[in-house]
């Protein structure tokens, strides 16, 4: 096949470049670092062998699993809380006005500033970490849920009133599903926040978890182990995002299908 | 015939930042049982506001709407509403069947009754085998038929329609006009039909209420004594149709004063 023919099929070209780009990068890294004597940039071969030893072996249950538990625990708690409170605030304009300064203040607090306070209040355990993750992750979900209800189609509301759907039924059958796409994009933002905040909380106050592992490796000048954790986190973010997208497409099929039609 | 719905000196004033906007000044008319009453008016004359006040979605500033003699204060169980924008009024996360069924579920009808009413209503608007589809999988005209089916399944004493065919193309519109005309005649449904299209109002209506420009009041109620069954070509070709259309047109454009219009109607 001639190159010009190949370029006529942009989808195929983009697909292959999509796969080629990381492959090129990894190959370059492999050869560039092959004979590296730098303590900070060990050969990729060493990093990958550490990766296999730790993350496909001993550290899977002792560190990765606790991190996942904290991350997903905080994320799910935030999603539940954020969507509930957000929907209620969306439904009541006066409540929204009353709580607006408070919400703006609370969501402006950086996660790192919260951790010392959380340690004092909740100790060093998982409760503290899950709470901090949830506190940070709750805002994107809450604000999206609130705005989604606030901006909903007036005709949609008029229809539910005209047909006397009733408050509770309208909440479950109209308000919630109508806000679901926006809530879901808020949750997507929160998912990446959850990874970051879990890491920080583990670096500050933990004996296990990927964050604790990373900071320990750094203190012991074990850069290969540290790099292996960094790669793990990148992969974890990638896989979680992919899984989230698949789930979103399944649950909100109507949303994606109706967008395609429009 | 008795009045099923009577609108008495209805007014609606919206408060805005600096002052107030009078959307409806003083609107009075009656809808008789079994009749097809059309309301036309120049654009921006508050047709939608009028319909929302009548359906109990919006509280009027003055005057009342009475349904069977009872003052309307909230959406009534005996009223079915069809809105202009079917995209907003049909829920895309539900199937077509569930959209039609939702108001019936809220009424706590039995599962069996709901199922038979939904399929009956969908059949009456000429839609079969779409019950499990989603609204966005249907054409605009079909979606509006689903919205009509939802109103029909509700078995209302009166159906309020707010420019229901304004968002579909001309061909589809003609089909929908005939559908609603025949269906309401067959099922003996009373209709209050708001439109900005004069031809549509004259073609469908037993009477046409012409509203004035804002601040809105009723300019005139025009009788449409065209024979039924009506037909897009034959009825619209009648000299009487042309005459009534001209009367309504001039009233809408404000080219007549009311006395002249009455004379024109008599001649």
**Residue B259 pLDDT:** 61
Tell me which fold the domain B3-238+250-266 belongs to. Answer: Rossmann fold (3.40.50)
Using a CB-CB distance cutoff of 8 angstroms, which residues of chain B are in contact with residue A255?
Answer: 92-93
Q: Residue A121: inside a domain, yes or no?
A: yes
Reported ipTM exceeds the 0.95 cut: no
Spatial distance between the Cα atoms of A127 and A124, rounded to a whole number of angstroms: 8
Four-CA torsion A137, A139, A145, A148, nearest 10 degrees? -130
pLDDT band per the 50, 70, 90 thresholds, residue B122: very high
Q: Confidence class of residue B258 from pLDDT cuts 50, 70 and 90? A: low
- A3 in any annotated domain: no
Structural domains of chain A, count: 1
Q: Closest CB to B55: pick one of A153, A162, A177.
A: A162
A162 touches chain B (CB under 8 A): yes
The domain ranges of chain B are 3-238+250-266
pLDDT at A1 over 70: no
By the 10 Å C-beta count (0-12 exposed, 13-18 middle, 19+ buried), A197 is classed as buried
pLDDT at A40: 87
Q: Do B83 and A258 touch (CB under 8 A)?
A: no
β partners of residue B80: B159
Question: Is B233 in CB contact (< 8 Å) with chain A?
Answer: no
* Mean pLDDT, rounded, for A49-63: 88
Nearest CA in chain A to B99: A173
Q: Which residues of chain A make contact with B136, given a CB cutoff of 8 A?
A: 254, 257-258, 261-262
Q: Is residue A11 in a domain?
A: no
Domain, as residue range, for A191:
57-261
Let me know if residue A10 belongs to a domain: no
Local structure of residue A61 (DSSP, 8 states): I
Closest of B246, B82, B100 to residue B168, by C-alpha: B82
Q: How far B266 CA lies from chain A's nearest CA (Å)?
A: 39
Contact assignment for B91 to A153 by CB distance below 8 Å: no
| pLDDT at residue A186, rounded to an integer | 97
DSSP B137: G
Assess B81–A contact: CB distance below 8 Å, yes or no: yes
Output the pLDDT for position B17.
Answer: 84
State the pLDDT confidence band at B264, using cuts at 50, 70 and 90.
low
Average pLDDT over residues A197-204: 91
The percent of residues above 70 in pLDDT, for chain A, comes to 97
Q: Which of A162, A173, A254 sits opposite B134 (nearest CB)?
A: A254
Please state, in angstroms and rounded to a whole number, the distance separating the CA atoms of residues A191 and A66: 16
pLDDT band at B70 (very low <50, low <70, confident <90, very high): very high
Match 């679901």 to its residue by tokens. A180
Instruction: Determine, yes or no, domain membership for A8.
Output: no
A12 touches B at CB < 8 Å: no
Question: 10 Å Cβ neighbour count for A258?
Answer: 18
Chain A hits for B134, CB-CB cut-off 8 Å, are 254, 257-258
On whether any CB of chain A is under 8 Å from the CB of B117, the answer is no
**For residue B5, what are its two tokens?**
């719905």
CATH of the domain at A230: 1.10.3720.10
Supply the pLDDT for residue B260.
62
Question: Is the confidence at residue B1, as pLDDT, over 60?
Answer: no
């Amino acid at each position: 096949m001639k190159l010009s023919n190949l370029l006529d099929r942009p989808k195929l070209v983009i697909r292959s470049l999509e796969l080629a780009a990381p492959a090129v990068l990894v190959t370059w890294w492999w050869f560039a670092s092959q004979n590296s004597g730098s303590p900070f940039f060990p050969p990729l071969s060493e990093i990958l062998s550490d990766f296999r030893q730790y993350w496909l072996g001993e550290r899977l249950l002792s560190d990765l699993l606790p991190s996942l538990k904290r991350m997903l625990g905080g994320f799910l708690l935030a999603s539940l809380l954020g969507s509930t409170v957000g929907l209620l605030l969306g439904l009541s304009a006066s409540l929204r006005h009353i709580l607006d300064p408070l919400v703006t203040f609370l969501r402006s607090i950086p996660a790192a500033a919260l951790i010392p306070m959380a340690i004092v209040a909740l100790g060093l355990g998982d409760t503290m970490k899950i709470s901090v993750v949830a506190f940070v992750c709750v805002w994107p979900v809450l604000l999206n849920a609130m705005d989604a209800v606030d901006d909903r189609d007036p005709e949609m509301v008029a229809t539910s009133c005209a047909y006397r759907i009733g408050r509770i039924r309208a909440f479950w059958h109209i308000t919630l599903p109508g806000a679901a796409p926006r809530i879901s994009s808020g949750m997507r933002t929160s998912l990446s926040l959850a990874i970051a905040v879990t890491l920080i909380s583990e670096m500050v106050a933990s004996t296990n978890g990927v964050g604790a592992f990373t900071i320990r490796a750094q203190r012991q000048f074990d850069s290969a182990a540290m790099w292996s954790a960094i790669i793990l986190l990148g992969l974890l973010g990638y896989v979680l995002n992919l899984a989230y997208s698949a789930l979103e497409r399944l649950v909100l099929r109507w949303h994606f299908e109706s967008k395609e039609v429009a | 015939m008795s009045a099923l719905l009577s609108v008495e000196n209805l007014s609606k004033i919206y408060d805005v930042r600096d002052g107030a906007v009078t959307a409806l000044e003083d609107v009075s008319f009656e809808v008789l049982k079994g009749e097809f009453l059309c309301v036309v008016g120049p654009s921006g004359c508050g047709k939608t506001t009028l319909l929302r006040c009548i359906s109990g979605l919006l509280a009027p500033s003055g005057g009342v709407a009475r349904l069977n003699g009872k003052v309307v204060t909230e959406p009534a169980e005996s009223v079915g509403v069809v809105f202009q924008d079917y995209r907003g009024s049909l829920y895309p996360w539900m199937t077509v069947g569930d959209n039609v069924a939702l108001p019936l579920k809220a009424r706590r009808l039995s599962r069996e009754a709901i199922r038979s009413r939904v399929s009956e209503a969908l059949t009456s608007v000429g839609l079969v085998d779409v019950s499990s589809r989603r609204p966005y999988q249907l054409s605009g005209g079909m979606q509006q038929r689903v919205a009509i089916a939802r109103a029909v399944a509700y078995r209302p004493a009166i159906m309020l329609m707010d420019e229901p065919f304004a968002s579909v193309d001309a061909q589809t519109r003609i089909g929908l006009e005939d559908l609603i005309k025949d269906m309401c005649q067959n099922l003996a449904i009373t209709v209050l039909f708001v439109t900005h299209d004069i031809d549509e109002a004259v073609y469908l209506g037993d009477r046409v209420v012409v509203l004035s420009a804002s601040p809105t009041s009723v300019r005139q109620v025009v009788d449409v004594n065209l024979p039924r069954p009506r037909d897009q070509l034959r009825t619209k070709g009648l000299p009487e149709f042309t005459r009534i259309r001209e009367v309504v047109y001039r009233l809408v454009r404000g080219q007549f004063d009311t006395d002249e219009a009455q004379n024109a109607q008599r001649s």
